[in-house]
Amino acid sequence: DTAVSQTPKYLVTQMGNDKSIKCEQNLGHDTMYWYKQDSKKFLKIMFSYNNKELIINETVPNRFSPKSPDKAHLNLHINSLELGDSAVYFCASSQGQGVQPQHFGDGTRLSIL
Amino acid sequence: AQKVTQAQTEISVVEKEDVTLDCVYETRDTTYYLFWYKQPPSGELVFLIRRNSFDEQNEISGRYSWNFQKSTSSFNFTITASQVVDSAVYFCALRINTGGFKTIFGAGTRLFVKA
């Protein structure tokens, strides 16, 4: 029943490692997003995909590579993890890019040791 | 520049008090959308309301009400008779079309409702 699901919920890893976060939505939406929420709760858009095409890339380091194999999935791969990557990462989806609200996943808390 | 300002970092009230969360936005676009989201302690983000720039009608949904005023670029959120379950971080957000719609979130207001 979960509309937007992310896995894993928690990710603890060491600096320098490569990790992936998966996101799937079963709402039939055509647009998906990744957001980063830092320790001060500030939410910032990272990427947006519409029908599997990259629409927004917000000056995110190229260590972050999103991949959208189909409209229902938007995965996030992160290479060479750094301490500053520690945050909660939220996946979201919406129907279209304009008026419809975004539905968020529960977040993935990434902690870099 | 596009910006959302939530000047209140934290608000603390006692149950049954009314509380207003302020949101001021900046954009040069004539078409834009405004949203409020709630993030309870469990961490998920919950959509509360959407307004488009052409619709200045205020809205009430149960104990929640929203006051959209283009003249002051504000979209304030009031909770009447607050309850402990209202304790959360509330985010105001602005969506604009910058060659792809982008949603800009305010820094959030943390609301504590004490019993």
CB A98 to CB B89 under 8 A? no
Work out the pLDDT band at B1, boundaries 50, 70, 90. Answer: confident
Q: How far is CA B105 from the centre of its chain?
A: 10
Three-state DSSP state, B10? strand
Q: Give the per-residue pLDDT at A1.
A: 65
Q: How far apart are CA B93 and CA B101, in angstroms?
A: 12
pLDDT tens-digit series, residues A54-93: 888 887 899 999 999 999 999 999 999 999 999 999 999 9
Q: How far is B73 from chain A (nearest CA, A)?
A: 18
User: A30 at the B interface (CB within 8 A)?
Assistant: no
pLDDT at B98 exceeding the cut of 80:
no
Query: Within a 10 A sphere around the Cβ of A14, how many other Cβ atoms?
Result: 8
Condensed to tens digits (0 to 9), the pLDDT of residues A1-35 reads 669 999 999 999 999 999 999 999 999 999 999 99
Query: Residue B47 and residue A43: Cβ atoms within 8 Å?
Result: no
Q: How far apart are CA B85 and CA A72, in angstroms?
A: 32
CA distance A55 to A97: 10
Structure confidence at residue B58 as a pLDDT band (50, 70, 90): confident
Please tell me whether residue A84 adopts helix, strand or coil conformation: helix
pLDDT tens for each residue of B9-50: 999 999 999 999 999 999 999 999 999 999 999 999 999 999
Ranges assigned E (strand) in B46-87: 46-52, 59-61, 64-69, 74-79
A28-37 pLDDT per residue, tens: 999 999 999 9
